[in-house]
Structure 1
Amino acid sequence: MHSLILASSSPRRKELLQFLQIPFESMNSNVDESIDENMQAEDAVQELAVRKAEAIATRYPDSWVIGSDTVVVLDGQILGKPANRADGKRMLEMLSGRTHEVYTGVAILYGEHSSVFAEKTEVTFWELSEPEIERYLDSGEPFDKAGSYGIQGLGSLLVKQINGDYFSVVGLPISRLARELKMMESEWT
């Protein structure tokens, strides 16, 4: 395989990609992440993943480039990263005691070839008390994460159950990615 580039500076995605035991570089794609409000979550994460990968692939056409994006969806509404503490609190109150979906889109680009897919995982939160929400907000963890929580950190204490790929909720469905890369390498090289 030619060089591999992760079009992300996310420490979580970098850590997950290391599971593949393939050398890679990480580069921030710095793309516009705004989406059409009427777009379905599954389509939105795939579009954003492609944007991120394309931003790097245009500069490194001989490299395999992976772009990824994750959103939290409740009642058809996409919950992005909170704008501030009040927004984070609002999201956590909405998620309390309910099941929501987490969509992660992945785009793999290599030359003229591409593979784009999305994974959906259902996550159920415990009923959260106001002090629990306030403590979690005080930790600072929610503020750079979709839906105002990170399942891999203190946010794990909010989660009652998941149905689907845990690593997709973290930000990269690594098992599916490994299989896609293996299939693509045999077909494209």
Structure 2
Amino acid sequence: MSTPALILASSSRFRQMQLQQLNLPFSTCSPDIDETPLAHENAAATALRLATGKAQAVAEIYPQHLIIGSDQVAFCQHTQLGKPMSVEKAAETLRFTSGQHLDFYTAVVLLNTLTGRMHSHVDLTQVQMRELSDESIQRYLEQEPDAIYCAGGAKSEGLGQTLIAAITSTDPNALIGLPMLSLIGFLIEEGIALP
């Protein structure tokens, strides 16, 4: 039996770039799901529910494939932080997180729609933000327009690293948006040949 084709259930170019590093052929499909957190749902559960929902939404279109779903939620001062989606909201978020400790929960699922088997993992990355002035936030957002598409507004693989004092993680890829180390294990379990 041949290995099912790989689908990334995401329109995120950051996740696409991460997956391209594996030199595997894949297609992308943008899932249409409501990403609103549920009442009393913790950040890890939100991330996992959304990653699972994205994979399942795409499974309806691709019934004989391996589908990757992922989602990231930042958590700071008892508040879930998603993608700001505007410069104004990003600036507000960065003022809120200035000097604070953030937890980034990044979930990844791999769904084999042929067998129904689903692998899942939620990665925790802890980030200590620097004290940020309004001027430094404004300069950052002018020079890093993609930050509005990143949970918490800090694009760590770009200029966002200037906002961060320390990162603690078991998978440095997770903060970018896709926990690659767990995903690689899932792909190997599903028979994908990797070097």
**Pairing of 1:33-72 with structure 2 (within 5 A):** 33-72=35-74
Query: Is residue 136 of structure 2 the alignment partner of residue 132 of structure 1?
Result: yes
Q: Deviations over 1:6-49 (max 9, x none)?
A: 00111110111112221111111122212203101111111000
What TM-score does the superposition give when structure 2 sets the normalisation length? 0.89
RMSD of aligned Cα (Å): 1.5
What TM-score does the superposition give when structure 1 sets the normalisation length? 0.92
- The runs of at least 4 consecutive aligned structure 1 residues that moved more than 3 Å come to 83-86
Gaps of 5+ in 1: none
| The one of 126, 130, 154 aligned to 1:149 | 154
**Pairing of 1:9-28 with structure 2 (within 5 A):** 9-28=11-30
Gaps of 5+ in 2: none
Percent of aligned pairs with the same residue? 33
Report the counterpart of residue 172 of structure 1 in structure 2: 178
Give, as a single letter, the amino acid of the residue that structure 2 aligns with 1:129.
S
Whole-Å separation in 1 of the counterparts to 2:173 and 2:189: 20
- Say if 1:103 and 1:118, in contact at 8 Å, map to a contact too: yes
Q: Deviations over 1:93-149 (max 9, x none)?
A: 122122211111111111211112210100111111221111112232322221112
CA change 1:64–1:83 in 2 (3 A) is closer
SS in 2 for 1:30: coil
Whole-Å separation in 1 of the counterparts to 2:147 and 2:85: 11
Report the counterpart of residue 106 of structure 1 in structure 2: 108
What is the deviation of 1:53? 0.5
Query: Is residue 103 of structure 2 the alignment partner of residue 123 of structure 1?
Result: no
- Say if 2:121 and 2:182, in contact at 8 Å, map to a contact too: no
- Say if 2:126 and 2:168, in contact at 8 Å, map to a contact too: yes
Whole-Å separation in 1 of the counterparts to 2:91 and 2:41: 25
SS in 2 for 1:59: coil
| The one of 88, 95, 98 aligned to 1:96 | 98
